[in-house]
Structure 1
Amino acid sequence: MVVQDSADPGDAGLVLLEPFLHQVGGHLSVMKYDEDTVCKPLVSREQRFYESLPLAMKRFTPQYRGTITVQLQKDSLGHLSLVATPLREDQESFQVSAGPAVAIWQKLQQTTTGEGPSPSSGPALTVLCSLRCSPAAALLRSEFHLSTHVAFLVEDANGNQATRGSLNPWGLHCHQAHLTRLCTEYPQNKQHRFLLLENVVSQYKHPCVLDLKMGTRQHGDDASAEKKARHMTKCAQSTSACLGVRICGMQVYQTDKKHFLCKDKYYGRKLSVDGFRQALYQFLHDGTRLRTELLGPIQRQLQALLSVIRSQSSYRFYSSSLLVIYDGQEPPERAPGSPHPQEEALQPTPGSCPGGLPKVDIRMIDFAHTTYKGSWNERSTYDGPDPGYIFGLENLIQILRDIQEGQ
């Protein structure tokens, strides 16, 4: 890979975005802004949701950190970079952590050019995949050299496996599609707005992530007749209809082989109810054993989320996802005489780990089609909580309980 510096590292406020390493689902490209923050293309409805988020739901959603302006910049060789220019008001309230990014740049300079690190004077500078646009097509060059050496292994519905480098293949697919679309449909310097959101896996060494599409209905109120029919068919032919939840992607760290095992949304769509149960079991299995200590904390957080959703009248979370996250790196051994993690109290906040309890996190994401009283579209106002979402949570909790009782 040729690392291209298509913008001056000394430019004030300039951030070169890189693909987010652990994107397991969705269709919009999620980019890494800095170690603790990701960004994604702005959808007005989703932005308004974050800006008016009920207090009770903040525990279960990524922290919203404002917006940035992003554009493509091309160098003399035709390579493009996604460059973010933070808005002035965002720069004052949100500081970019420059250290790790510069370290990645210097390491890449050594490994790709054979030269030693060169001084860099600008704010956060990271490196991303390059692509070259030609009149015929966008030629994607997507091998990304990252600071991690963990491989990602893709497994399809038939059990066939293939190693796909050091970037989750679904995230890479989304990144390629997004850059291709920007390259072919928009002028080079057109400005785009992105949302800045908390990187909810930044504290995990080997983040195991399960992306669940929640609810029995996935189309938004503004969907065309064609899109509505397409989404209804997907729900009817998957576990969305019978369980209110289906798998849209996952990665689970295998401690025996030192790689991530990945599944995508096409795998999830084909699962039967029994297949869904087996996939959930596999998500909690590290290649050598079932992580039984995770079952209690995950269920308790899901129960807490269920209580919150039941209290939110008029909200419908169409096409939103729920992330279940834990660390594939097991916690240190418990001290003799200390209580078993499953005997500990409920975690006060997602991701915390009091008393040696393994870190577990539950987060709702993707609100581009969420509707609620007071949102911009008043044509459809619902009463009461979201029944499809509640149905999915109840079934998910029950399946986890069955797995726990089966041990």
Structure 2
Amino acid sequence: MVLLEGAELGETRTRVRLEPFAHQVGGHTSMLHYDETTLCKPLFSQEQVFYESLPADMKPFTPQYRGLISVYVEKDSSGHISLVACPQNDNESPAQESPMATKRTQQRAKTPCAAEHKPAREGPLLDRTCNDSRSSVCGTGKGKRDASFHMKDPNGNESATPERSSHNPWGLHCHRAQLMRMSSDSKDNEPYRFLLLENVASTFQLPCILDLKMGTRQHGEDASEEKKRRHMKKCEQSTSSSLGLRLGGMQVYQATTGHFLCRNKYDGRTLTAEGFRQALYQYLHDGHQLKRELLQPVLQRLSALRAVIERQGSYRFYSSSLLLIYEGKKHSPGRHPFSAPPRVDVRMIDFAHTSYRGATPAYEGPDRGYIFGVENLINMLQEIKDGD
């Protein structure tokens, strides 16, 4: 994936061909694989400021921030469009947002990283990407795992799998949409700016991931009146208002079939409170049995997160998500003669609309809507733990 090429302008720089992250279960912008421990995503200046001013006690609950890169749209002779990343020089101009954050605010300087080429067009975008956000499988690429991905529809039925897939279909849907935005907006070889973030799933072989939209309010202070109304309606008509939680995406490894079972945000919007509880139970079930050993470590991690959020005055985590991750691969007794604790993680992500200390307007006290969601999640997990 990493290509080292000599630059024609007298400087050698690293070129990294970016591919969609295989385990993206939610969100609306594409998470891209940069290296084995690092992902990148389009720059939103508000999110960059959040990471750069992050309180120390929140760092264990967020991905590590690893700086900025320049990303170019490239097209080969066959018309295939791809994204290539180049590390940002310290002497380059300050980073600006990608068109996913604003209509058109790009860095206006070329770097010697990318070769000259004509601007990409939309035509060949469907070559290696997913055509349908709800399709069961699509796409190939590097980072291939030993499990395929199956979608589950709102009625609880698994979709057919006409071919093997190495990527979560929702991530491929996001990648296709992002390529279309970037290629149609790209001209004169101008770079986009992306954030580099820790890949929190990189230490898991078969990561089972639950993406939860947190809080009772989803729109940020920068939202238009129309967007506010739209997000408020989504909250009112979903579990966001009643639970402070909404399923934004999920993949859970099924030991009985050897594939990931996936659900996306459209499914999450239709769930009732009881449906959400059932989805949470499904996330903890490997198709054969409920993984009860996960409950106590997840509850401990969530309790620690709640304590941290309660200390963060002025912060409002609007439209952010919470990731729950555990290892789906079952280790053989021969490799682990003694009982090993289950590997779990809990991380906050997506801070493009977060209001932080020093921002306008200034809030007092912690984000009660977020805490409400964490407490409901703790209560539901505790009920599952106490159940038969």
TM-score range, shorter chain: 0.7 to 0.9
Given that 1:13 and 1:85 are in contact with CA atoms closer than 8 Å, whether structure 2 keeps it comes out as: yes
Partner Cα distance (1:211, 1:188) in 2? 37
Tell me which of 146, 150, 158 is aligned to 1:153: 150
Counterparts of 1:304 and 1:76, CA distance in 2? 53
8 A contact 1:17–1:33 mirrored in 2: yes
Q: Is the 8 A contact 2:122 2:183 kept in 1?
A: no
Equivalent residue for 2:56? Answer: 55
2:21 is the alignment partner of 1:15 = no
Structure 2 residue 379 is the aligned partner of structure 1 residue 403: no
1:39 matched to which residue of 2?
Answer: 40
Residues 365-380 of structure 1 mapped to structure 2, 5 A cutoff = 365-375=349-359, 378=360, 380=361
1:195 aligns with 2:195: yes
- Displacement after TM superposition at 1:10 (Å): 5.5
- The answer to whether the 8 Å contact 1:140/1:176 transfers is no
Give the TM-score taking structure 2 as reference length: 0.84
> What residue identity is the alignment partner of 2:378?
I
1:9-56 Cα deviation digits (max 9, x unpaired): 555311111110000000011000000000000000000000000000
State the match for 1:103 in structure 2.
none
* Runs of at least 5 residues in structure 1 that lack an aligned partner in the other structure: 91-131, 341-355
Task: Encode CA deviations 1:351-380: one digit per residue, 9 max, x unaligned.
Answer: xxxxx11110000000000002213xx2x1
1:134–1:69 CA distance, 2 compared to 1 (3 A): closer
Once the two structures are TM-superposed, the CA of residue 84 in structure 1 deviates from its matched residue by: 0.5
Find the aligned partners of 1:234 and 1:79 in 2 and give their Cα distance: 37
Map 1:105-184 to 2 at 5 A: 133=121, 138-142=125-129, 143-146=139-142, 147-162=144-159, 163=161, 165-184=165-184
The residue matched to 2:267 in structure 1 has which SS? Answer: helix
Distance 1:259 1:67 in 2: 34
8 Å CA contact 2:81, 2:125 repeated in 1: no
Partner Cα distance (1:242, 1:361) in 2: 25
Quote the residue 1:129 is aligned against: none
Distance 1:241 1:390 in 2: 13
Secondary structure of the residue aligned to 1:370 is: coil
**Pair 1:231-2:215 in alignment:** no
- Partners of 2:57 and 2:336 lie apart in 1 by 38
Q: What residue number does 1:104 align with?
A: none
Unaligned segments of structure 2, at least 5 residues: 8-12, 92-119, 130-138
Inter-CA distance 278–374: structure 2 relative to 1 (3 Å threshold): same
Letter in 2 for 1:161: E
One-letter code aligned to 2:304: A
**Matched ranges for 1:301-316 at <5 A:** 301-316=301-316
Letter in 2 for 1:141: R
Matched, 1:357 2:374: no
Change in 2 beyond 3 A, CA 1:273/1:184: same
What whole-Å deviation, never above 9, does each CA across 1:284-307 have from its counterpart, x for those lacking one?
A: 000100000000000000000000
Partner in structure 1 of residue 67 of structure 2: 66
Q: Deviations over 1:89-110 (max 9, x none)?
A: 59xxxxxxxxxxxxxxxxxxxx
Q: Distance between the aligned counterparts of 1:201 and 1:77, measured in 2?
A: 33
Is the contact between residue 74 and residue 188 of structure 1 (CA under 8 Å) also seen in structure 2?
Answer: no
Task: Give the letter aligned to residue 53 of structure 2.
Answer: S
Corresponding residue for residue 81 of structure 1: 82
- Normalising by structure 1, we get a TM-score of 0.80
| Shift, 1:336, TM fit | 11
Paired positions, count = 341
The whole-number CA distance in structure 2 between the counterparts of 1:138 and 1:393 is 39
Q: Residues 61, 84 of structure 1: CA spacing in aligned structure 2 closer, same or farther, 3 A cutoff?
A: same
Distance 1:153 1:406 in 2: 28
- Quickly say closer, same or farther: Cα 1:288–1:74, change in 2 above 3 A: same
The Cα offsets for residues 73-118 of structure 1, whole Å up to 9 and x where unpaired, read as 122222222010102359xxxxxxxxxxxxxxxxxxxxxxxxxxxx
Q: Shift of residue 148 of structure 1?
A: 2.1
Secondary structure of 1:317's partner? coil
Aligned mate of 1:385, from 346, 360, 366:
366
Write the letter of the residue equivalent to 2:61.
F
- % identical equivalent positions: 57
Which structure shows the higher helix fraction? Answer: 1
2:4–2:14 Cα contact (<8 Å) kept = no
Q: 1:74 to 1:406 in 2, by over 3 A?
A: same
- Flag the 1:314–1:9 CA change in 2: closer, same or farther, 3 A: same
> Structure 1 CA distance, aligned partners of 2:165 and 2:332?
29
Contact 2:61 2:347 in 1 (8 A): yes
| Residue in 2 that maps onto 1:280 | 280
Question: Which residue in the other structure is 1:109 paired with?
Answer: none
Q: Which amino acid aligns with 2:128?
A: R
Partner SS for 1:319: coil
- Read off the aligned partner of 2:380 and give its amino acid letter: I
